[in-house]
Structure 1
Amino acid sequence: MILRLTLLAALISTSALASPETDRWDKHKAAVTITRDDFGIPHIKGKTDADAVFGMIYAQAEDDFNRVETNFINAQGRLAETEGESAIWRDLRMKLFIDPAELKAQYVASPAWLKSLCTAWADALNAYLASHSAVKPRVITRFEPWMALSFSEGSIGGDIESINLGKLESFYTGQAVKLTAVELGSELLEPAGSNGMALAPSRSTSGDALLLINPHTSFYFRSEAKVESGQGLDAYGASTWGQFFVYQGFNRNTGWMHTSSGVDNIDEFALTVEKKGGKYHYLHGTNWRPLAEKSITVPYRAADGSMKSRSFTTWRSHHGPVIRAENGKWIAVALMHRPVAALEQSFLRTKTTDLASYLKVATRRANSSNATLFASSKGEIAYLHPQFVPIRDAKFDWRKPVDGSDPATDWQGEHSLDQLPSVMNPGSGFAFNVNNWPWTAAGPDSPKQAAFAKYMDAAGENPRGPNALRLLSGDRKFDLSALLTTAYDPFLQGFADTIPPLVKAWDALADGPQKVRLAAPVAALKAWDYRASETSIPTSLAMLWGDDMVKRFGPVAKLDEEAIVPYLASAKVPDAERLAALDAAVGKLAGDFGGWDVPWGHINRFQRLTANINQSYDDKLPSTPIGFASGNWGSLASFGARQREGTKRWYGDYGNSFVAVVRFGKDGPEARAVHAGGLSSNPASPHFRDQAERYRTHDFRKVYFTDAQLQGHVEKMYRPGE
């Protein structure tokens, strides 16, 4: 009897598993191989693009399912379901734009080829969970194809995340806005962005185009993989966890590096609002239009573990949703939200063969926040401006909310690609962007600022810009090693601008205790060449001095709408304050490290202890010295570090993450790369921090792009689920 029941249970179980879904899983598994190289990096091969997507996402889940799920929890506005009430406002912000019903409808209407990729994406994650019962999702227990459309662009902070959470909360609660130290200006975050450089054959020792891929992100934000299919996919590079396209990387013929742009294409509109007949209306011209109302419910996990929810009535104008109130007006925001087009563009550009095909993909104009540095095996190079730029009346200052009741402020369509400040195949032989303006992107062949509307750039210059331009100008020729050296050039332009006024202030100081106390530190700064290194004592002095100066003058500079470095270099800063900040820095160095003459590498450290998204740090545990510094002060190689809870040393968690240099040879690409720490999130894996020393010394590993290059470097080969 027991045997019969056991057999019956087995038959029922088999029948339950047999389904169109599991049939798809099995077909994908049979058509996919995953080869892990000696750094644990997956090389995925599939018969079709959908097979390759299945293998790519399955491998990502193996390496860090938590980050995959978390990205899509956040993208769908479901963080509060796991992180509690504090995440309600982040979720509400996402839900103002992300509506599952709308995404499902867009998925159904999307092209068949894209639907097949979205289905393979969901299949991979569901198959992974089915075969890894020990992995417990925090929120999403089943992935559906439409979900891929909720996070389709790849940036570390999308356009939606530009909306201020404190002001959104204030609008719905009536409580005063709680500004953070960063919002006040008294603390600098590491600049969100990246570096990209493209060199033409005329500037290359080999006669081939070269490309620097240097994203600045939070560490471990992206995976790394080679993805190949029988339908022409053949790409290598970094993919944001959970996304099925190589976001920053290269294929056999083209390479693409995205940098956060200063283009002004997110606009705010001040609405004149009145309640009429029990409903809110807003003035547009001489007409009162009804604000569209929508109730949004945000579930959240309460402190006792139970699930609760809060509901909000939200309003939307023809410009976009209302996100805050200001000076008696309601503020609506307009930004790009094209999930299908963005996902199409993100995937299709990985299969381009030259600049013309890349530009054809870009005609979807669904890349809003990123400039692109491009290079190809044909020797083409380019700086490409973000493709989504609304046409607006130039008489308005679009950096601030405009009058939404004035029809003249309405968007008037979009600029075509040939109306953007891009540059292709410049005579200078180089193109670059380091999150600065485009007006120096190709030296003398750059776009001319006077020819374009002011809203084409709102970022202006930054300390990295002049440094990069200095390094690339002239007629010097580069190979991969020289490009790598350039990418890590240690010159800190921000301190070259701000330290001389400090030295001058000390020179003018009357004899006395402060003059004596600061004599040796100032002498060290006087002799400094403004280059960071592990052994540099002046770098330590400058970094702590700069940190103190930001606390003193950051809020004032922010109110004056001035960039912090030019402000600190200006005569607006009293000499006494410059010297007081140096006194404070010297005192802090002595208090934390026993003296002011501390090498930068003793303070500035890389440490990876856990698989947690939010890392913990400990001065008593092993860490690695890092010689480069913050991009805020002009370091091209960015390492955003600060003291953590309970530490005296500064630990980095943002900046250089995945970095690569590529040569587009006629016989295929040659590339070198490094990944912060290592690819795996498992502390027990040999690939958890096997690249930490390479990250420190810039000893990039060779990228195995072809089967021949991979030969002899295989750790294991398997099919998903094996």
Structure 2
Amino acid sequence: MKPLLLLVLLWWTLPLAAQSTQPTAADRGRWRQRVSRVTIYRDTYGVPHVQGKTDAEVMFGMAYARSEDRFQETEAAYIQSLGRQAEQSGEDGVGWDVFFRAFEFERLGQEEYAAATPAIRALADAWADGTNYFLFKHPEITPKVSIRYQGWMLFTMYRSFAISPEAADVDLRSLAKIVLPAARPEGEGSNMWAVSAAKSASGYPMLFVNPHTPLLPVYESHWISDEGWNLSGLTAYAQTAIPVKGHNEHLGWALTVNSSDMADIWEEVFDDPARPLAYRHGSGHRLAIEWRDSLRVKTAAGFETRAVTLRKTHHGPILGERSGKQLAVNFGNVDHGGLFQQWYAMGKARNLTEFKQALDINGLTYHNVMYADTAGNIFFIHAGTVPKRDPTFDWSKPVDGTDPRTDWQGYHTPADMPQVLNPPSGWMQNTNSTPFLTTTEDANPKRTDYPRYIAMHPDNWRARASRRLLTQPGRFTFDQWAAMAFDTYFYAAEREVPLLVHEWQQLVAVDPARAAVIQSMVTGLGGWDRYGRVESVPALWFTLYQRVAAPRSARADTTTWFRIAALEAVRAGLVRDFGTAEVPMGDVQRLQRPRERDGESYRDDRPSLGLPSADGGLVGTIFAIGTQQPAGMKRRYAVNGSAYVSVVEFGPKVRSRSITPFGQSGDARSKHFFDQAPLFAKGQFKPAWLSMKDIQTNLEQAYRPGEEKR
């Protein structure tokens, strides 16, 4: 799609009243009551286990605890969802703000809050209270943007989670010409598996939870209330208050992003000069809605306030123009909502029936769900708030907005989506891959039963690697299950190494001198066991080789000797940087956590740990680590991939282990800034304690919000 013009009209400068963040007497009294009813337990890894009398008090306590560890990340998520990025980033944030204002997240969040049940509103209010109370107790913290947090903002933040440029079959960057997140970097994706008694040595179901995201935003927490909440899991990107993946004493679930088309573009025709807001629809016209909004923009001279004019049709906000037609864009679930309520209900569910009732809220935008429970069930669904569409149109391109047949026809329900329950094989897997290969053939959903715009992901290397492990004979012990989570077998090497060896053998016949230069590398790769270990030299060769060769292989490149050229480039780079090609994997693939709040970047002269693996999409490994090589550096540093690894066994007493790449705290002065890293680098877990007895046995500190040791 060609770059398009963003329709943003700048008008005049308006004053913006400062928002008071000072607490009232009522605020202080309410906070005192909440504080008296909640306790934060920090285990020996700094993970907060927050216990309260009610779910709302736990929300209050967890908002405080997370702010202790990661306030800056939480604040950034609110700033973005409220369309106030320009107050922090200046001109670079204007596009973001216009984008979020165009979708009216603030209005929608306020409306969802007003329509919510009193119990749900109480949770949202408690979250806002916990965040405000943290700032009150920590005046040394200087927020980037002045915000008095309110309950409705939680729903605005969850609405923003529905916007995923990578989960949509829409080129939003070229459409809007705005600063959106970079395209999904290597290493992103996710893995999840489940096995039932048929593949479990103990006879209890087991779950593997492994999101592949940027490494820094992950946050582990445990929520405990006298109202039956006992949820341990992971929040994501600071956009979600409660865990998006986790388990309680009855059940657990994992997520992977799926490929259903959940966004579309409509070409709108405004052709009535007398009525500038009239656009053609069917045999007549409809009127667009136009409104003005104001942005506060940081500049070198201070702040200035700009007004923008925005427009929307019944299809969605106008974000671009092409060939005289204005382009409306919409995402599934932007107007639907319910995401916070759904995740809350999923975490409170006690059995499969209640879990499916939570799924029926249909607020989950673009995720697969994999489930296991203590009753012996395993379940998979390719979920998402997917619009119903006329299948005769090509929805991968802008469609004719004048044709009423292109209007969305509501949303598909969970019952419409591909799913698998208790397959005879006893195993299921998904790695951002097709749901039609979830388990053995006879138990899989059938592609022909669903519209093309549902489930467009193909099979992938990680799915093949998963099936290789899950179809091994026999049943898995919990220790074996945990070890499989860190499997570093490079499945892509099964295909690519023989092709490279064959091409090299052809080269020997025509240019033996050239072939001799890389002979030892080809021989090493040919004899390699295909595992990515820190001490493995061929593992590094293959990883670097794939960076060069894989894109050309994917394009079916027929250039003579392109595989040879790729390996030659690997050799030249290693000799240049290290003086030899014989470099072990862990000498180049490194785990380092810069003091990101201080503006530090990755550096070769700072301490780091060797890593045994590489990007899962590149080499087809389960323990996936995406790396980047900063300018001027010789080593590559982990930036995304296995951001959280968890294994759970659902027996009479649920057993769980977890690990994150760095540590619980975002404060470089904390001992929990990098304390999990040595375990992670070795492919080892820490315990994830669920019972209060285990928490008390492994306790570092217990305190009420505002009374912590500093």
* Counterpart code for 2:536: S
Cα distance in 2 between the residues matched to 1:192 and 1:339: 27
Q: One-letter code of the match for 1:452?
A: Y
Deviations 1:643-685 (A, max 9, x none): 013311000111111211000112x310011121110111121
1:78-102 deviations in whole A, cap 9, x for unaligned? Answer: 1221112112112221222234344
- Which deviates the most, 521-530 or 106-115? 521-530
Q: Which secondary structure does the structure 1 equivalent of 2:702 belong to?
A: strand
2:228 is equivalent to residue 232 of structure 1: yes
Aligned to 1:308: 304
2:384 maps to 1:398: no
Residue 325 in structure 1 maps to residue 321 in structure 2: yes
The structure 2 residue matched to 1:685, chosen from 650, 666, 670, is 670
The structure-2 alpha-carbon separation of the partners of 1:638 and 1:482, relative to structure 1 and needing over 3 Å to count, comes to same
Deviations 1:405-457 (A, max 9, x none): 22222222222322210111111111221101101112221111122111111
CA distance 1:155–1:376, change in 2 (3 Å): farther
Provide the C-alpha distance between the structure 2 equivalents of 1:238 and 1:154, rounded to a whole number of angstroms.
Answer: 18
CA contact (8 A) 1:382 1:425 kept: yes
Residue aligned with 2:650, SS: strand
Q: How does 1:178-327 map to 2 (within 5 A)?
A: 189-240=185-236, 241=238, 243-277=240-274, 279-304=276-301, 306-326=302-322
Q: AA paired with 1:71?
A: A
Distance apart, 1:283 and its partner CA: 2.7
SS in 1 for 2:64: helix
- Distance in 2 of aligned mates of 1:575 and 1:612: 48
2:691 aligns with: 706
SS at match of 1:152: helix
Measured in 2, the distance between the counterparts of 1:417 and 1:613 equals: 45
> Which stretch shifts more, 138-147 or 496-505?
496-505
TM-score normalized by the length of structure 2: 0.91
Aligned to 1:109: 115
Structure-1 separation of matches of 2:135 and 2:337: 26
Cα distance in 1, alignment partners of residues 600 and 440 from structure 2: 40
Aligned partners of 1:248 and 1:256 also within 8 Å? yes
3-state DSSP of counterpart to 2:561: helix
- Secondary structure of the structure 2 residue equivalent to 1:227: strand
Classify 1:295/1:500 alpha carbon distance in 2 versus 1 (closer, same or farther; 3 Å): farther
CA distance in 2, matches of 1:41, 1:99: 32
Equivalent position SS for 2:565: helix
Check the 8 A contact 2:60/2:127 in 1, yes or no: yes
What CA deviation, in whole Å up to 9, does each residue of 1:158-189 have, x standing for no partner?
A: 4698565642444x9xxxxx999x76xxxx82
AA at the equivalent of 2:244:
Y
- List aligned pairs for 1:116-135, cutoff 5 A: 116-135=122-141
1:578 deviation in Å? Answer: 2.3
**What is the CA–CA distance in structure 1 between the aligned matches of 2:489 and 2:323, rounded to whole Å?**
44
Residue 60, structure 1, aligned to residue 66, structure 2? yes
* Equivalence for 1:541: 541
Q: Does 1:136 align with 2:129?
A: no
CA contact (8 A) 2:254 2:370 kept: yes
Moved over 6 A (4+): none
Q: Specify the code of the residue in structure 1 equivalent to 2:475.
A: K
What is the percentage of aligned positions where both structures have the same residue? 30
Comparing 432-441 and 269-278, the one that deviates more = 269-278
Secondary structure of the structure 1 residue equivalent to 2:623: coil
2:407 alignment counterpart: 410
The equivalent residue for 2:496 is: 498
Give 2:471's match in structure 1, choosing from 464, 470, 473.
473
Q: How does 1:522-671 map to 2 (within 5 A)?
A: 522-549=522-549, 553=552, 567=554, 570=556, 572-612=557-597, 616-633=601-618, 634-666=620-652, 668-671=653-656
User: How far 1:466 moved relative to its partner?
Assistant: 1.1
Secondary structure of 2:640 counterpart? strand
The answer (yes or no) to whether the contact 2:660–2:680 under 8 Å persists in 1 is: yes
Query: In 2 relative to 1, CA 422–179 (structure 1 residues): closer, same or farther, beyond 3 Å?
Result: closer
Q: SS of the residue aligned with 1:25?
A: helix
Shift in CA distance, 505/156, structure 1 to aligned 2, threshold 3 Å: farther
Q: State the TM-score, normalizing by the size of structure 1.
A: 0.89
Alignment CA distance shift 1:521-1:492 (3 Å): same
Paired with 2:159 and 2:487, the residues of 1 have a C-alpha distance of 30
| Number of the residue aligned with 1:10 | none
Q: Distance in 2 between matches of 1:542 and 1:309?
A: 53
Take 2:163 and 2:561, find their aligned partners in 1: how far apart are those partners? 39
Which AA in structure 2 matches 1:486?
Answer: M
- Secondary structure of 1:612's counterpart equals helix
Query: What's the offset of the Cα at 1:23?
Result: 1.5
- Post-superposition Cα deviations, 1:122-167, rounded to whole Å, max 9, x if no partner, equal 1101111111010111113321111111122796974698565642
1:153 and 1:346 in contact (8 A); partners too: no
Which residue in 2 is equivalent to 1:175?
none
TM-align CA RMSD: 2.4
**Amino acid in the other structure paired with 1:673:** S
CA apart distance, 1:299: 2.1
- Native 8 Å contact 1:611 1:682 kept in 2: no
Does structure 1 residue 381 correspond to structure 2 residue 378? yes
Rate the CA distance shift 1:350–1:153 in 2: closer, same or farther, 3 A.
Answer: farther
Deviates more, 1:313-322 or 1:281-290: 281-290
SS at match of 2:429: strand
Q: Greater CA deviation, 313-322 or 157-166? A: 157-166
Hey, what does 1:167 align to over in structure 2? 174
Unaligned runs of 5+ in 1: 1-15, 173-177, 554-564
Q: 1:179 to 1:256 in 2, by over 3 A?
A: closer
Confirm or deny: 8 A CA contact 1:269 1:401 kept in the other structure.
yes
Amino acid at match of 2:448: A
Would you say how many aligned residue pairs link Structure 1 and Structure 2? 679
Letter in 1 for 2:624: S
Whichever residue aligns with residue 601 of structure 1, its letter is G
Match of 2:4 in 1: none
CA contact (8 A) 1:156 1:217 kept: no
Farther off after superposition, 326-335 or 698-707? 326-335
| Equivalent pair of 1:152/1:339 in contact (CA under 8 Å) | no
- Deviation of the 1:233 alpha carbon: 0.6
Change (3 A) 1:242 1:593: same
Shift of the alpha carbon at 1:25?
A: 0.6
**Cα deviations by residue, 1:549-595 (Å, 9 ceiling, x for unpaired):** 36x74xxxxxxxxxxx6x25x4x332322222222221111111212
Confirm or deny: 8 A CA contact 2:110 2:156 kept in the other structure.
no
Relative to structure 1, the CA distance from residue 257 to residue 437 in structure 2 (aligned partners, 3 Å threshold; closer, same or farther) is: same
What per-residue deviation string (whole Å, max 9, x for no partner) do you get for residues 286-336 of structure 1? 2233332233333221134x1124433322222111223345543322212
Tell me, in whole angstroms, the C-alpha distance in 2 between the residues paired with 1:691 and 1:663. Answer: 22
Summarize deviations over 1:668-708 as a string: whole Å, max 9, x none. 31001112111011112111111111001122011211012
Q: How far did residue 474 of structure 1 move?
A: 5.2
For residue 43 of structure 1, the aligned residue among 43, 49, 67 is 49
In the alignment, is the contact (CA less than 8 A) between 1:154 and 1:243 conserved in 2?
no
Change (3 A) 1:396 1:492: farther
Written as runs of structure 1 = structure 2, the 5 A alignment for 1:512-527 is 512-527=512-527
Deviation, structure 1 residue 534? 1.0
Task: Please state how far the C-alpha of 1:358 moved relative to its aligned partner.
Answer: 0.6
